[in-house]
Amino acid sequence: MTEPLLKVEDLRTYFATEEGVVRAVDGISFEMRRGERRGVVGESGSGKSVTAMSIMGLIEPPAGDIVTGRIVFDGQNLLELSEDEMQSIRGGRIAMIFQDPMTALNPVYTIGDQLMETIVLHQKVSKAEAREIAIQALRDVQIPNAEHRLNDYPHQFSGGMRQRVMIAMGLSCSPDLLIADEPTTALDVTTQAQIMDLMLHLAEDRGTAVMLITHDLGVVAGFCDTVQVMYAGGIVESGTIDDIYHNPQHPYTWGLLGSMTRLDDATQHRLHSISGAPPSLIKLPEGCRFRPRCQFATDICRQVLPVLRPVGNPGQMAACHRSEELDLKALSVDGEVGAAASEVTS
Amino acid sequence: MTEVPSAYQRHIGEAAALPENVMLRVNHLVKEFPITRGVFFKKQVGAVQAVSDISFEIRKGETLGLVGESGCGKSTTARCVLRLLEPTGGDVYFRTGEDDHIVDIATADKDTLREIRREMQIVFQDPYASLNPMMTVASIVAEPLVVHDVGTKEERLERVKELLQVVGLSPEHANRYPHEFSGGQRQRIGVARALALNPSFMVLDEPVSALDVSIQAQVLNLMQDLQEELGLTYLFIAHDLSVVRHISDRVAVMYLGKIAELADRDALYEQPMHPYTHALLSAVPIPDPDIEAKRSRILLEGDIPSPANPPSGCRFHTRCPKAKEGVCDVDVPELRELESDHWVACHFPEVKKVF
């Protein structure tokens, strides 16, 4: 097997707050191949974005700190690099797209200035050449009239167009890895379809690996090859999209799929809701973090934190003590189980 | 809005026109927002027609889903229905519970409005912004009772505890403050407040959009249970078409202030006729990789035009794959009933299954 593009080992990123230490990412390990499109899914506070920020070197002490772990990118541990060395990787070989393009773009500079800044910083080119590259980058993301739009300011673009600019900026230096943090969450559904379609084609053509961070399992199903499901700072399950959607091994994944409304579902059955809410990251429960909300929890779940281990299909991993004995695939998700559980919240 | 007869005078003339199974009818509703220029001497230089002559009805005990992308006018419509916004034109006939009177909300006077507002309530999208952080849960939920002067202090507290249980919270929560609750629990508090006066009609304005998926399911289940138990009628506003299919009996699709298509839920999703509905449905991802791999999307060109300067003719013609020059850019298509209870505003409607 060839060396993975990205290898994260036992990453722990904590934040110090007045109430205590927030364990936002707490011991996650995973790998990404070159060209892999990996979905990172989970609810708010599950640690998806902090994972991305850690990889990008955007966690700033003293507020936050990477306590342990290694982030090996193309053979190089990013956590051992100086800020200067990190600067050259950030935006160059690893690029990131954020949820809200309006806050990610500087309102007082033109789109062209901001695009060319990245290009000049990472590539040894003249200003005129940078301009050509910037125009081409805008054309690649299908912005009409690119050479004129270069002189426009962010407010002159619509939300979808701004996200296209962000993608152009992210891809302008041909990164090996693009991290997209909820890139379409702020957009309307028809615009989302345009943007995801565009990202899929660009990533496929260039062989760019993409880490897609999202809470939307629908978007992942159409875009990614692999998925990791996060919950309360840990990875609870990972595998190919086929594994995760058709053969979930963790009760949280299973519950999440069951609680989704589906466009192609003509029945108006009760949704399987996962009772309660995610735990506080300051006071995590003993044992399995999903245990307080899990309808299958037993004594061992209360005592021992389950580790991510191979289970289910080849290559699939889950962090559940009971994966083998629970035949989640066979359990009907729309049954009364969920209905009963949903009554006892809080 | 002068020279209009009082609500009471109007309802006499219109009572017969509202079939018995209809709770609310919106007739030719128009809402314009002025565009002004200047700081001190504001001068109106134009108007944005957020809602542009729409009509629909909501039947007793049903859920009407109102969907569309941002800026299509769905929330403005809901606010005009409750007269939280003053409609520029049109009527909103509402059947009141007690004596089956029909009131035109759009023109009703202050006292009438105050009376009928007991029967119509709203749940807002953001449970963080819609609950006063300085008030306890008990005072938040009891506020409608205080405003309408219902019961003694003790009776109100009893009612609050009862309501908290109805929405799946514990009566002990009454003395806590909103910040002690998660998003899903806050939304339950918002629902409890809306239920305080035993309304018959509720506007749910994106009630689950701000919530995580597993919590969304809890709140959707709660709304369905309450509807069944209390016989409520819902106007459900959302941009998520999967959620709308799950909760609605009939669905109206809006685009740039107009209704593009209105039909029974299954007809709208399985046999949509308007090209915009086709594009909208085809854009919604389905959480199943096998289905996603086989789907082809109808990708619309460009963005939604500005409502301040909407396109001529059919408002969708600038992005419509089926638009014909000389027809779609000239004539405004009427909302016509093409199948029983299936209304479409398109010059070239065509049934098309898109997923």
**Band of the pLDDT at A332, cuts 50, 70, 90?**
low
Q: Pick the residue of B167, B176, B213 with the most A CBs within 10 A to test the interface with A by mutation.
A: B213
What's the pLDDT at A115?
A: 94
Query: Bigger pLDDT: B355 or A332?
Result: B355
Q: What is the pLDDT of residues A7-49, one digit of tens each?
A: 999 999 999 999 999 999 999 999 999 999 999 999 989 999 9
**What percent of chain A has a predicted confidence (pLDDT) above 90?**
81
Q: Give dist(CA A164, CA A186) in Å, integer.
A: 13
Mean pLDDT, range A50-66, rounded to an integer: 93
Query: Bigger pLDDT: B185 or B97?
Result: B185
What's the pLDDT at B344?
A: 97
Q: For A146-157, give one letter per residue: b (16+ CB within 10 A) or e.
A: beebbebbbeeb
Q: What is the mean pLDDT of chain B?
A: 91
Selecting from B218, B279, B286 the residue whose C-beta is nearest the C-beta of A264 gives B286
Whether residues A272 and B217 touch (CB distance < 8 A) is answered with yes
Mean pLDDT, range B117-146, rounded to an integer: 93
Q: Give dist(CA B79, CA B88) in Å, integer.
A: 12
Dihedral sign of CA atoms A97, A99, A105, A106 in order = negative
Give me the phi and psi of A62, to 5 degrees please.
Answer: -90, -10
Q: Give dist(CA A172, CA A120) in Å, integer.
A: 11
What's the pLDDT at A66?
A: 96
Q: Which of A37, A81, A22, A34 is nearest to A55 (CA)?
A: A81
What's the pLDDT at B13?
A: 45
Mean pLDDT, range A166-189, rounded to an integer: 93
**Band of the pLDDT at B8, cuts 50, 70, 90?**
very low
Q: Is residue B7's pLDDT more than 70?
A: no
Beta strand A234-240 pairing with A226-231:
antiparallel
| Whole-prediction pTM | 0.90
Distance of CA A297 to the CA centre of its chain: 28
Q: What is the pLDDT of residues B82-127, one digit of tens each?
A: 999 999 999 999 998 767 788 999 999 999 999 899 999 999 988 8
**Band of the pLDDT at A261, cuts 50, 70, 90?**
very high
Q: What is the pLDDT of residues B42-58, one digit of tens each?
A: 888 888 999 999 999 99
**Distance from the B292 Cα atom to the nearest Cα atom in chain A, whole angstroms:** 5
Q: Is residue A284's pLDDT more than 50?
A: yes
Whether residues A218 and B284 touch (CB distance < 8 A) is answered with yes
Q: What's the residue count for chain B?
A: 355
**What percent of chain A has a predicted confidence (pLDDT) above 70?**
95
Whether residues B215 and A277 touch (CB distance < 8 A) is answered with yes
What's the pLDDT at B98?
A: 67
Whether residues A263 and B241 touch (CB distance < 8 A) is answered with yes
Whether residues B241 and A189 touch (CB distance < 8 A) is answered with yes
DSSP E strand boundaries for B8-42? 22-37
Whether residues A242 and B279 touch (CB distance < 8 A) is answered with no
This complex has an ipTM of 0.88
Residues of A with Cβ-Cβ distance to B295 under 8 angstroms: 222
Q: Is residue A334's pLDDT more than 50?
A: no
What's the pLDDT at A344?
A: 36
Q: Is residue B6's pLDDT more than 90?
A: no
Q: Pick the residue of B214, B274, B277 with the most A CBs within 10 A to test the interface with A by mutation.
A: B214
Q: What is the pLDDT of residues A120-136, one digit of tens each?
A: 989 989 999 999 999 99
As a whole number of Å, the end-to-end CA separation of chain B is 47
Q: Give dist(CA B151, CA B159) in Å, integer.
A: 9
Q: Give dist(CA B98, CA B112) in Å, integer.
A: 14
Q: Is residue A216's pLDDT more than 80?
A: yes
Selecting from A158, A263, A274 the residue whose C-beta is nearest the C-beta of B242 gives A263
Beta strand A317-318 pairing with B63-67:
unpaired
Cβ(B351)–Cβ(B272) below 8 Å? yes
For B312: left if phi > 0, alpha if psi spans -120 to 50, otherwise beta; the answer is beta
Query: Bigger pLDDT: B215 or B351?
Result: B351
For residue B276, which amino acid is it? Y
